[in-house]
Amino acid sequence: MGMGGLNSTAIAGVGYTDYSRNSGRSVERLALEAIHAAAADAGIAVSEIDGLVTYGLCDTSYTGVLATGLGLKELNYFADYSAGGNVACAAVIQAAMAVATGQAKCVVAYRALNGASGIRYGGSGWSELMSTTSLLSDAEPQFLDTCGITMPAQHYAMLARRHMAKYGTTNEDLAAVAMACREHAAKNPRAQMRKPMNLADYEASPWIAEPFRLLDCCLQSDGACAVLVTSWDRAKDLRQRPVRILSGAVGGSPRARGVMWTNFAGEHAECFATELADGLFQRAGVTRGDMDFAQLYDCFTYSVLAQLEDFGFCKKGESGAFFREGRAGLQGQLPINTGGGLLSEAYIHGLNCVVEAVDQLRGNAGDRQVSDAELGLVTAGGAAHSGSALILGAQ
């Protein structure tokens, strides 16, 4: 095939397992199920897949294992990221770049994990696990651990406190994010958490790391998602309405070399979006006002507030009101996390947010469908200084 940009590629299929707290099967089995489902969704044989991309922190099933398990005829492109949720969109972008440059014809980005029954992020031994992955430099844990920051909730709590001190953000603002995600999840058959939540429920949940309560924190989930990318021209002839990849961005601030403590360096409670957003929209040839929805990486409620501001949908300090006033609802100004997000659908390390965006742009999201959805933003990276993002379109 000829050379092209990202917008010469499309998502032609998505697949996923059930989302649970105890899958009863291996991470490899989960990945195989999701990839088989994505191929079936696109209407192609699994043997036509010739590229694989994945990511994870000690708990994924690597591309070489999956290529064998899938019985692929050839593997023309592969990539295994040793990274977290900040590359959920980057994995899809990597797949699209491989297709656009002719490295492969059909590339699947996938994520599989037993995040509840297996390696629990932020659970016992988290800091020790991270320090052995080479993801953190040897210097970081000794500084973080000695001041009591041993898990992501504690780290992001510090970032949220800075936003509160600078802009007057409150726990009611955080609660509004959690409640909006739960309201959307109630309409999503895939979601782990569909029970209605009100402010009293939120305030009754225990503190995890102030200002975060339990309901400010994403779920711990077992499951897998897969996103099948091929050329736009080919996708048009396959089973589903294709979703075009209009643009993507991966990167962040120069101070994002580390994972945790370098995020404290800024003065203005900003995240990676300040570095990526303008170019992301410009390359897609669209504006922020054109977006019909946004799936914002919600590892914690505060992450959504930071991204809403830094992607330019509202001014600094105004994101809490955006949620409290209902502007992020399914009928609102910008529906956000329409499937429930990581807070209420599942924590499949962000790739489930891409699946939800595809559902919306195909127009098959059922009771949670955003009317006439044609353009959507998906992000990965929370409130950190590194991340990735996609703009997807229905045509």
* Three-state DSSP state, 30: helix
Q: Which two tokens stand for residue 288?
A: 């922020």
Q: Alpha carbon of 260 to those of 88, 121, 140: distances in Å?
A: 18, 14, 8
Using the Cα atoms of residue 220, residue 28, residue 43 and residue 246 in order, give the sign of their dihedral: positive
Q: Is residue 51 within 8 Å of residue 104, measured between CB atoms?
A: yes
R_g of the chain, CA atoms, integer Å: 19
- CA–CA distance, 73 with 84 (Å, rounded to integer): 30
How far out from the chain centre does Cα 34 lie? 16
CB-based contacts of 35: which residues, under 8 Å, 6+ apart?
15, 46, 49, 66, 70, 108, 110, 226
As a three-state string, the secondary structure of 242-259 is CEEEEEEEEEECHHHCCC
* Three-state DSSP state, 336: strand
Beta-bridge partner residues of 225:
16, 111
Using the Cα atoms of residue 128, residue 384, residue 360 and residue 195 in order, give the sign of their dihedral: positive
- CA–CA distance, 19 with 23 (Å, rounded to integer): 8
121 is catalytic: no
* Three-state DSSP state, 3: coil
Catalytic-role residue among 16, 19, 110, 297: 297
- CA–CA distance, 385 with 24 (Å, rounded to integer): 35
Q: Which two tokens stand for residue 196?
A: 């209605």
297 is catalytic: yes
Catalytic-role residue among 55, 110, 202, 347: 347
Beta-bridge partner residues of 111:
225
| Residue 238 CB neighbour total at 10 angstroms | 17
Kindly give the pairing relationship between strand 51-56 and strand 77-82: parallel
Would you name the residues annotated as active-site residues?
297, 347
